[in-house]
Amino acid sequence: MTRPTLWHQGWHAQATRQASPNFGPRPAEACIDLIVVHSISLPPGQFGGNEVQNLFTNQLDVCAHPYFEQLRGLQVSAHFYIRRDGQLWQFVSCDDRAWHAGASEYRGRSNCNDDSIGIELEGLEGGLFEDAQYAQLASLCQDIRQRYPIAHVAGHEHIAPGRKQDPGPGFDWPRLASVLDFPHRYFP
């Protein structure tokens, strides 16, 4: 029996696909060697709705909650989004450049969007994350590393210090490192 292909043109076969218009080509010289972990919930601290998916696809109703007004006109995306229950969504092909990092620098390179894969965890900056999210994140990181030359895994807080603080102190980096077979030097 033939195993189904896990990747097709940068899209993960096990993710729910919801294409975002917020992406662009990577520079020709880009080496996709960084995974960036983020956290997001909309509105902050509320889980389970479709607001994040709507934000990443420019469909967020900014009148639905007072917090959303500050997001009016914002065009952002991530490659992946992992819900509290472990559901995996994908918005941008990993072969393309998603708009998740903003002004950033890591491992001596600026503009981390150029050569990273962004993974958003449904959660509150600094809050705790669910077992299902860690399991899905670890599996996804392994799958990404099979296709791309990953050499670094960092948080948004590490690539944009002072500007961003996610996923924050509630994220258990040693836990993630312990379940991945990545060398210790890959982590912040």
Beta pairing class for 152-155 and 34-40: parallel
CATH 1.10.260.40 fits 18-186, yes or no: no
For residues 28 and 129, give the distance between their C-alpha atoms in angstroms, rounded to a whole number: 36
Domain spans in the chain, listed from the N-terminal domain onward: 18-186
| % helix, strand, coil for the chain, step of 5 | 25, 20, 55
Determine the pLDDT at residue 3. 56
Q: Which residues are catalytic?
A: 120
pLDDT tens-digit map of 56-101: 999 999 999 999 999 999 999 999 999 999 999 999 999 999 999 9
Judged against a pLDDT cut of 80, whether residue 4 lies above it is answered with no
Average pLDDT, the chain: 96
Question: Is 0.75 topped by the overall pTM?
Answer: yes
